[in-house]
């Protein structure tokens, strides 16, 4: 896992910096673990909630930057199934912020031709938030641009268990035989069915963990970790990640033909 210290980012870069990587070498699907909102707030002597509010601004910047870079899918880890261990007051704030985001950004998502996909379990999401989720997904349903995929109340292990249960039900009913179970069938029963696997996984705040995120889907993803806290994450950091991605030799377990070595 590559970690890029903040000091290695060119200080002259701005959010208007253009990526020099050819389109064909850029990742088609970027997944992000947005980490560090609370630490950002603590660093600036602000309430934790303000870190989450500033994090929404980073979501907007990253979404726009990915669209401009020709990324096809951006998947953001908004709320994990483990995050329910946090104080009730913070969870209530996060739900209210999510509802506000869905309402405030809906028109912009539509006008920017973005498709919206939401993955995860809905059972613990308040009904009024679920309603706004559904309205936003429906509003974007006719768009054909970049897909913004929000992982809300998402945990990869539980996702895989749900996929196994769906497949087991089909085998039990006689719709499938056990011999028909393969990797594609598992993928087709995950929350992300129909989406390409991530090419690049970005994690902010410097933590070197996957945190139960897209475990099946990131089997061959390139990993890029930055110590930058999520509210400070901008286009220059995304471009640094894309540049690093383009410099790597992705062999998927095969041979490097030029060096004739085993990956």
Task: Give the pLDDT mean for 19-46.
Answer: 96
Q: With cut-offs at 50, 70 and 90, classify the pLDDT of residue 249.
A: confident
Measured CA to CA in angstroms, residue 225 lies from 15, 147, 187 at distances of: 19, 23, 26
- Active site residue ranges: 35, 83
Q: Write down the domain spans for the chain.
A: 23-155+198-247
For the chain, give the mean pLDDT: 91
Measured CA to CA in angstroms, residue 211 lies from 33, 35, 117, 119, 208 at distances of: 8, 10, 21, 16, 9
CATH number for region 23-155+198-247: 3.40.1180.10
pLDDT digits (tens, 9 = 90+) for 88-142: 999 999 999 999 999 999 999 999 999 999 999 999 999 999 999 999 999 999 9
pLDDT digits (tens, 9 = 90+) for 194-220: 999 999 999 999 999 999 999 999 999
Q: How far apart are CA 78 and CA 80, in angstroms?
A: 7
Q: How far apart are CA 8 and CA 225, in angstroms?
A: 13
Q: How far apart are CA 8 and CA 140, in angstroms?
A: 38
Q: With cut-offs at 50, 70 and 90, classify the pLDDT of residue 18.
A: confident
Q: How far apart are CA 100 and CA 53, in angstroms?
A: 11
Q: With cut-offs at 50, 70 and 90, classify the pLDDT of residue 183.
A: very high
pLDDT at 143 over 50: yes
Evaluate whether 76 touches 59 at the Cβ level (below 8 Å): yes
223 — phi, psi (to 5°)?
Answer: -105, 135
CB atoms within 10 A of CB 237: 24
User: In what order do the strands lie in the sheet containing 115-119?
Assistant: 2-3, 222-225, 200-203, 29-33, 73-80, 147-154, 115-119
Query: Do β-strands 261-262 and 73-80 pair in parallel, antiparallel, or remain unpaired?
Result: unpaired
């Amino acid at each position: 896992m590559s970690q890029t210290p903040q000091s290695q980012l060119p200080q002259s870069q701005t959010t208007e910096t253009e990526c020099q990587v050819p389109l064909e070498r850029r990742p088609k699907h970027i997944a992000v673990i947005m980490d560090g909102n609370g630490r950002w707030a603590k660093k600036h002597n602000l309430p934790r909630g303000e870190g989450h509010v500033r994090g929404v601004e980073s979501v907007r910047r990253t979404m726009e930057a990915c669209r401009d870079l020709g990324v096809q899918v951006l998947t953001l880890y908004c709320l994990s199934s483990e995050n329910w261990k946090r104080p009730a007051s913070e969870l209530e704030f996060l739900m209210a912020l999510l509802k506000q985001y869905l309402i405030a950004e809906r028109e912009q998502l539509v006008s920017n031709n973005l498709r919206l996909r939401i993955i995860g379990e809905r059972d613990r999401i308040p009904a009024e938030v679920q309603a706004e989720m559904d309205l936003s997904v429906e509003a974007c349903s006719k768009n054909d641009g970049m897909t913004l995929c929000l992982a809300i109340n998402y945990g990869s292990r539980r996702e895989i268990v749900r996929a196994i249960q769906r497949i087991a039900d089909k085998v039990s009913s006689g719709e499938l035989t056990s011999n028909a179970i393969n990797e594609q069938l598992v993928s087709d029963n995950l929350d992300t069915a129909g989406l390409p696997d991530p090419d690049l996984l970005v994690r902010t705040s410097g933590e070197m963990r996957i945190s139960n995120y897209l475990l099946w889907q990131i089997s061959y993803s390139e990993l890029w970790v930055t110590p930058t806290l999520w509210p400070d994450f901008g286009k220059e950091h995304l471009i640094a990640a894309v540049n690093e991605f383009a410099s790597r030799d992705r062999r998927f377990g095969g041979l490097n033909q030029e060096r004739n070595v085993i990956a």
